[in-house]
Amino acid sequence: MSEVIGRLIEFWGFKRNMGRAWTVLYLSPEPLSAEDLRHALELSSGAVSMTLSELSRWGVVRRVWIQGHRRDFYTAEVQLWRMISRVFNERERSEVLGAIDAFEESLQHLDRIRKTSSDPLARARAELQHERISQLLELARLGRRLIDGLVSTAKFDAEPLVRFLLGQRS
């Protein structure tokens, strides 16, 4: 099972071992130590340590204390929506915000060319690029609204996206 989840996690842009480790912890009835994970996944101690650090940073694994033991134990986040929404909010939203900034900066640059260039071909090219980048900016802003709505309500309203794709901008 951990290999299946590992491949799926890798498809989403994370490291396969992150998915494998999370799966082992998720399916375990009790917290596991790093050593337990090392044996279950057949990884080095260093690989397990790095994987647990990354998973902890994403909030999908947490360290727990077990009375009478000196070593650290780990448990998986079992609220799946909490994990998914955190990734959407931190990773996908960040990418969309970066794209919005880049598109806005490009539009400002193209505006300067459209206003100041004496070359009619350069102005025409800037006009075409301005129009197309404006469409990309509109799509990125729509993506930001969809991600924000999905993360805050756990619902996805595809109607604005469909309208955009059909050219029915509002």
Q: What is the pLDDT of residue 23?
A: 93
Question: Do residue 69 and residue 96 come from a single domain?
Answer: no
Residues 6 or more apart whose Cβ sits within 8 Å of residue 38: 44, 45, 48
Q: Is the pLDDT of residue 155 over 90?
A: no
Residues 73, 6 within the same domain: yes
Tell me, what DSSP letter sits at residue 91? Answer: I
Tell me: do 88 and 113 sit in the same domain.
Answer: yes
Q: What CATH number does residue 41 fall under?
A: 1.10.10.10
Say yes or no to pLDDT of 156 above 80.
no
Give the H/E segment covering residue 62.
strand 61-64
- The SS3 call for residue 76 is strand
The total of structural domains in the chain comes to 2
Does residue 142 carry a pLDDT above 70?
yes
Q: CA–CA separation, 151 vs 109, rounded Å?
A: 33
Q: SS3 helix, strand, coil % of the chain, rounded to 5? A: 70, 5, 25
pLDDT above 60: residue 170: no
Q: Using an 8 Å Cβ cutoff, are 146 and 156 in contact?
A: yes
| DSSP E strand stretches across the chain | 32-33, 61-64, 73-76
Q: How far apart are CA 88 and CA 151, in angstroms?
A: 7
pLDDT at 125: 95
> What sign for the dihedral angle of Cα 7, 9, 13, 16?
negative
- Rounded average pLDDT over 123-148: 94
User: Of 78, 113, 129, which marks where a domain is finished?
Assistant: 78
- What's the pLDDT band for 10 if we cut at 50, 70, 90? confident
Range of the domain at 131: 81-165
Entry pTM: 0.70
pLDDT in tens, 48-105: 999 999 999 988 999 999 888 888 999 999 988 888 888 888 888 999 999 999 999 9
Confidence (pLDDT) at 169? 65
Q: How many CA atoms lie within 13 A of 152 on its CB side?
A: 8
Question: Same structural domain for residues 100 and 149?
Answer: yes
Answer yes or no: is pLDDT of 107 > 60: yes
